[in-house]
A and B are shown apart, each in its own frame.
Chain A
């Protein structure tokens, strides 16, 4: 008897358990199908909603695919010059210390042109959150090799695969910043599976709570995909990421507070 409940009877406002947060705008994102940027935006927005800090949060957008972040999240956002997001966030946080300030940067922005800003903001222990999307490629500009591109990984500028003898080794920015005294919480997560999305969300929430307590820089890497740049179907790109990216960029905490 009870089993005969129809779908229409389930789909009623009082039974709603999950819907897109209002901190995301209704705009369709500019991201390719299956790209982890959208998921990461959404979980940041969900935490902002859950913590009730929509009017107290300021994001700093990078140059790269997520340059238009202000179209997708309904919070104050400043777009920074390429790689300079941690410097801009430093200024915002110092002038408005009661605000929650985060940067959102891809690997082309954070680990190449922005290496200096990233390392020095972390070393100064600026009380900001840095969200680092690492998909091992320059997505927006056409899939060129990034500092984070894996050895042997093909890109439009390493068509035979990254040759480390000629092109150097992939850079583990997260491992580097974890060694700096200014960082308080450093973790590497992903958003390709429901369990991972939930873990990433917890990490971002923790970081914002630490920021409230003035603990120093929190740095969260999200190892992500670039289906278009990698020339794969979205689901295939997630499988490739598990098999190839995770061994080199293993998921988990790199630095956790002592208590």
Chain B
């Protein structure tokens, strides 16, 4: 059965930890990290990466445009 799988890459240094992507993800893939970047922001990271479908919702809504999305069908 063909299944769509996705993955995201967050530009951690440019993420401002706003959390808008976290609530936009229908698959609850993203959380804010307990760690911070050099600006002190708790950056976004995919913690449930296997659930990602590559729908691009997180990237579309990110005010700082720091998420890239990849998708494959297998």
Interface positions of A (Cβ within 8 A of B): 2-3, 5, 7, 9-12, 15-21, 24, 28-29, 31-39, 42, 191-194, 197-198, 227, 233-235, 238
Contact = CB atoms under 8 A, between A and B. Distances in A.
A194 B57 contact: yes
Interface in B1-35: 3, 5-7, 9, 14, 16-20, 22-24
A29 B64 contact: yes
Contact of B18 (A37, A198, A234): A234
Given A18-B60, A20-B66, A38-B65, 7 more contacts: A19-B69, A29-B64, A31-B64, A197-B60, A234-B18, A235-B18, A235-B23
Contacts of B64: 28-29, 31, 38
A33 B7 contact: no
Nearest to A234: B18
A20 B72 contact: no
A15 B71 contact: yes
Nearest to A3: B3
Nearest to A238: B20
A35 to B, nearest CB: 6
B20 A234 contact: yes
A145 to B, nearest CB: 24
Interface of B: 3, 5-7, 9, 14, 16-20, 22-24, 41, 49, 54, 56-57, 59-72, 74
7 contacts: A7-B7, A10-B71, A17-B6, A20-B66, A38-B65, A234-B18, A234-B20
Contacts of A37: 63
Given A31-B63, A39-B62, A17 B71 contact: yes
Contacts of A198: 60
B18 A33 contact: yes
Given A34-B20, A235-B23, A11 B63 contact: no
Given A28-B14, A28-B64, A36-B63, A18 B56 contact: yes
Contact of B20 (A15, A28, A235): A235
A37 B65 CA distance: 11
A11 B70 CA distance: 6
Contacts of A11: 7, 9, 70
B71 to A, nearest CB: 5
A15 B72 contact: yes
Given A12-B70, A17-B56, A17-B69, A192 B61 contact: yes
A234 B60 contact: no
A10 B60 contact: no
B7 to A, nearest CB: 4
B72 to A, nearest CB: 5
A219 B25 CA distance: 30
Contacts of B18: 33-34, 227, 234-235
Given A28-B64, A38-B65, A194 B24 contact: yes
B63 A18 contact: no
